[in-house]
Structure 1
Amino acid sequence: MSGKRVLVAGAGLAGSLAAIHFAQLGHRVEIHERRPDPRAAGAGGGRSINLGLSQRGIRALDQVGLLGPVLAAAAPMRGRVIHQRDGELDFQPYGSHEDQILRSVLRDDLNRILLAKALEHPNVSARFGVTLTDFDRGSAAKEPVCTFDSESGPYHVSADLVVGADGAFSTVRTRLLRGLPADFRQRVLPWGYKEFAIAAGPSGEVRSSPDALHVWPGDDGLIVAHPNVNGSLTATVFLPLSGERSFATLTTEGSVRDLFDTRFPDVRRLVPDIVEQFLSHPTGHLVTVRSSPWQHEGRVVLIGDAAHAVYPFYGQGMNSALEDCAVLRDCLADDDWAEALRTFERRRKPHTDVLADLSEQNFDELRTRVASPLFLARKKADLVLSRVFPKRWMPLYTMVSHTTIPYADALRRARRQHAVLAWAGGAALAAALAGGALARRRAAGPHSPGDRS
């Protein structure tokens, strides 16, 4: 299996990590990327949204020797700080143990670390600023061919394997599925997002809790802010794309100022230039993608967002993409690449479909339920039970974020746990009611009309 030619379309997180794996396995790797080289100053183009690194991503990075450099560039997050509308703050820990924390890392920083590691290998090369315009998926008797457009004109590249790591709007995926009995579903959330920065105070003074994710919940608007190692926060405001107080209507200084004065007043205090940042930054869109197949005849495979983009509200998009690469490497132990890629899809797709569902559900949780007393009581009960029965009870969030239990398996276990809890609660309630009824009968005497004995 050694010495094959692998073309990776996309030099993002998944593409760069995949390139590292293929290089370590002894293959020749070419990376082709639409954007400028992310290692160059200013190449990020403002797309610097933070990511929450959890156990799946940690394990995938450790596998290629990059965990140390990434953690050095990351800030710990031990839980959520909920900013209530009345100014009160509520801290919700992520786990029941001290080591159950997430790490906040800038996407651009992580991308630079991964790409630099890939290009350390002499069998890896990269071209930037080129656009994939066409793709022939090939067949058992014909190599796949990619066509790119560059400043010097179009060019063609053939390979033994094409790895589609070109994001949620993947050209590789579009061409792969053409003419096949394929399934493709795309759901665009009617909300968008803008990023803004919450700077550190004078001389690097931390402006707010430095080791937590900050959440300003609301069914009409949501802000999430990740900490950075320099004491600042990278924030994202999520709002409807249309309607009253939406990105379509918040186009003037007055309307934006009114939004933050009435909905997020402490943000106005933390970010004096929030109006300027809001109006100058682009609006991003949120999409969920489900597709199949992910592979074709051992010649093409999709990974990361190209195969299974999800909303960012469970913090697992990047982690699942990095986990893809680790699972794909395991599958490539099979010398039959066609079977290896089929195995990869069978092992991953059921779980990433579940992740898509969980990410959609967590959107509602972040907007409304994190501030609910019932939600807080249930979350505290989950944490207490996990401390008392650490081997038998594990909250769903803990399984998703602090273990590598496959997503669908984690969801099944969580449902079993809550079924047990519901049964136990129902049994306790029934016992309490029966005990109360018996006590009332005894107090009323044997000839009470309520006595049927």
Structure 2
Amino acid sequence: MTVAIVGAGLTGSLLACFLARRGLPVTLYERRPDPRTGQAERGRSINLAISERGLDALRRIGLDGEVMADALPMKGRMIHPVEGPLDFQAYSASQDRAINSISRGALNNALLDAAEKAPGVEIVFEHKLVSLDSAAGVLGFETPAGLVELRADVVLGADGAGSAVRGQLVADGSVVDDVDFLDYGYKELSIPAADGKFALDPGALHIWPRGTSMMIALPNPDRSFTCTLFWPAGSFDALTTPLQIERYFGEHYPDLLPMAPSLVDDYLNNPVGVLGTVHTHPWQAHGRTALIGDAAHAIVPFYGQGANCAFEDVVALDRCLDDTGGSWARALPLFEARRRDNTEAIAEMALANFVEMRDKVASPVFRFGKQFEHAVERLLPGRYVSRYELVSFTTTPYADVRRRVRRQHQALGAAVALGLGAVVATTRALTRRSR
């Protein structure tokens, strides 16, 4: 039984490690040169926030300690208004739980190293998929040596949101897909270390909410910050000269300019990325070819769950293989059946969290609501848990999180209404007595 994984990114590399434990011969095919020997593509990193779901997957193969050695824990959001003091908002009611900032490139390299060391795993770079017979398991690659054709018993597409495997499956009629592009783009900037120190608090995810747009910044081990602008599509084109850029940021992000000496160069030269949600149906064909991670269900990055969700996919597929006695023909449909509701739930929540981060976090009403919710969590430990904590600090299935949060909000609303009703009734009674 031979397995071909197309895509040696985060998901493909982790998947290879899991399958190697099962004694399966695995070949990872990657269109890029080996990223461990080259230079990362400029402005395309979007730092990752690894939380419990991703950590759970790494623990299962003993990689959590090594991979997370350089990760930086972030215990909450630091809000940067245009004017006024910064505002720290803890992620958890206990104020001690954290998500972890890590470079996508560093994590990918660590997982590639682990896959390379795993028995039975071969990694082949500079192989671009150009054809696929999903029923026969025959793959065609464009390589520096020319076109090559290879065969595998199982083909798994782990090649991201722009998946070539998904494209081949769509072309042969095996699956249909729909990419719901967000009317926003992103561009990366950088805040370097200041005299060898962090220019901002490294224990927080920094947000500059500006209504219809925002910027975030995550810390790096070299004491820099990777910043990402999320602006409406087309708005990046409005700033074309250094003077325009400096004036705009001076007005809308006034604390950034002194900390970002390369801002103008980054803005003018870093590319604008696109954002979207991928919906695919089905995720597999013929019981031998399947999609996993972003290739099947890419989401927008605003809950920090893209990599976490994909890593959880790997754990779920591994369990399906256990539950079907290693039968791929049964495991692949079962994997989709178990995961689809969950991936659709986190896709929905990620979009909702964009609105929260962009429009709401600076609002006094929002801050009061979060403080009230944390107070309820402390009052009812284990019985009331916020959506953010369930998503980021547990492995509760995403679909269950969505259902539980709805029930909690309904119960809390009913309790508040009942309490207000009691106050009103008591006030009326006292008023009548005083007449």
Shorter-normalised TM range: over 0.9
From 110, 115, 132, the equivalent of 2:112 is 115
d(CA) in 2 for partners of 1:298, 1:57: 27
Return the offset for 1:238.
1.1
Measured in 1, the distance between the counterparts of 2:430 and 2:172 equals 73
Q: Which amino acid aligns with 1:249?
A: A
Pairwise CA RMSD: 1.4
Match of 2:431 in 1: 440
Tell me which of 300, 322, 331 is aligned to 2:320. 331
1:31-55 C-alpha deviation (Å, 9 max, x unpaired): 1111111211414454332100000
Secondary structure at the aligned position of 2:34 is classed as coil
Q: CA deviation at 1:193?
A: 0.7
Secondary structure of the residue aligned to 1:174 is helix
Matched residue, 2:276: 287
1:318 alignment counterpart: 307
TM-score (norm 2): 0.96
- Separation in structure 1 between the aligned mates of residue 360 and residue 202 of structure 2, nearest angstrom: 23
| Residue 54 of structure 2 corresponds to residue 65 of structure 1 | no
Q: State the Cα deviation string for residues 393-438 of structure 1 (Å, max 9, x = none).
A: 1001000000000001011111111111100111111112222222
1:311 CA drift (Å) = 0.5
Letter in 2 for 1:164: G
Q: How far, CA to CA, are the matches of 1:20 and 1:98 in structure 2?
A: 34
Q: Contact between 1:87 and 1:266, CA under 8 Å: does it hold in 2?
A: no
- Determine if contact 2:242/2:264 at 8 Å carries over to the other structure: yes
Q: 1-side partners of 2:378 and 2:339: how far apart?
A: 31
Task: Tell me what 1:170 maps to.
Answer: 163
How high is the TM-score relative to the length of structure 1? 0.93
1:220-277 Cα distance to aligned partner (Å, 9 max, x none): 32110001122211111111122xxx11222222221122011001011111221111
**Contact 1:37–1:43 (CA under 8 A) maintained in structure 2:** no
Contact 1:32–1:126 (8 Å) recurs in 2? yes
Offset of 1:381 from its aligned partner?
A: 1.4
Please report how far the alpha carbon of residue 155 of structure 1 lies from its aligned counterpart in structure 2 after TM superposition.
0.8
Give, in whole Å, the separation in 2 of the partners of 1:178 and 1:382: 48
1:194: how far off? Answer: 0.8
Q: Over residues 95-121 of structure 1, what are the superposed CA-to-partner deviations in whole Å (9 max), with x where a residue is unaligned?
A: 123552111000000000001100112
Tell me the number of residue pairs that the alignment of Structure 1 and Structure 2 aligns.
433
The equivalent position to 2:293 in structure 1, one of 304, 308, 314, is: 304
**Kept in 2: contact 1:82–1:91 (CA 8 A):** yes
Contact kept in structure 2, 1:44 and 1:108, CA below 8 Å: no
Q: 1:25 to 1:99 in 2, by over 3 A?
A: farther
Match in the other structure for 1:233: 225
Q: Using a 3 Å threshold, how does the CA distance of structure 1 residues 98 and 435 change in structure 2: closer, same or farther?
A: closer
CA positional deviation for 1:336: 2.2
The alpha-carbon deviation at position 190 of structure 1 amounts to 1.2
SS at match of 2:237: coil
- Tell me, yes or no, if structure 1 residue 388 matches structure 2 residue 379: yes
**Cα displacement string for residues 114-146 of structure 1 (whole angstroms, at most 9, x for unaligned residues):** 0110011241112212211111111xxxx3111
The answer as to 2:138 corresponding to 1:145 is yes
Aligned to 2:103: 106
Q: Is the CA contact 2:174–2:285 (under 8 Å) kept in the aligned structure 1?
A: no
**Max radius of gyration: which structure?**
1
Q: SS of the residue aligned with 2:255?
A: helix
Q: Residues 298 and 280 of structure 1: is their aligned pair in 2 closer, same or farther, counting only changes over 3 Å?
A: same
Aligned partner letter, 2:167:
T
Structure 1 residue runs without a partner (length 5+): 445-453
Q: Which moved more, 1:128-137 or 1:311-320?
A: 128-137
Q: CA deviation at 1:199?
A: 0.6
1:35-74 map, 5 Å: 35-74=32-71
| Partner deviation per Cα, 1:47-106 (whole Å, 9 max, x = no partner) | 332100000000001111110112212111011100011042000111123552111000
Q: Which moved more, 1:153-162 or 1:103-112?
A: 153-162
1:419 and 2:376 are equivalent in the alignment: no
3-state SS in 1 of match to 2:372? helix
1:196-234 per-residue CA deviation (whole Å, 9 max, x = no partner) reads 1111111x1221111110000012321100011222111
- Alpha-carbon offset, residue 181 of structure 1: 7.1
Could you tell me which amino acid in structure 1 is paired with residue 378 of structure 2?
R
Aligned AA for 1:352?
T
Counterpart CA distance in 2 for 1:37 and 1:44 is: 12
* Pairing 1:247–2:236 present: yes
Given candidates 141, 148, 160, the residue that maps to 1:155 is 148
1:354 aligns with 2:345: yes
Q: Does 1:343 align with 2:334?
A: yes
1:374 equivalenced with 2:365 (yes/no): yes
Aligned to 2:256: 267
Distance 1:99 1:429 in 2: 33
Give the letter for the 1:211 counterpart. Answer: G
Alpha-carbon shift at residue 339 of structure 1 (Å): 1.1
Q: Tell me the SS of whatever aligns to 1:211.
A: coil
Q: Percent identity?
A: 43
What's the offset of the Cα at 1:182? 4.3
Does the Cα contact within 8 Å between 2:157 and 2:166 map onto a contact in 1?
Answer: yes
> CA contact under 8 A between 2:78 and 2:86: conserved in structure 1?
yes
Equivalents in 1 of 2:63, 2:84: separation in Å?
40
Look up the SS of the partner of 2:155 in the other structure.
Answer: strand
Measure, in 2, the Cα distance between the counterparts of 1:19 and 1:324.
Answer: 13
1:177–1:293 Cα contact (<8 Å) kept: no
Matching of residue 128 in structure 1 with residue 125 in structure 2: yes
Assess if the C-alpha contact under 8 Å between 1:73 and 1:229 holds in 2: yes
Ranges in structure 2 where 5+ consecutive residues have no aligned partner: none
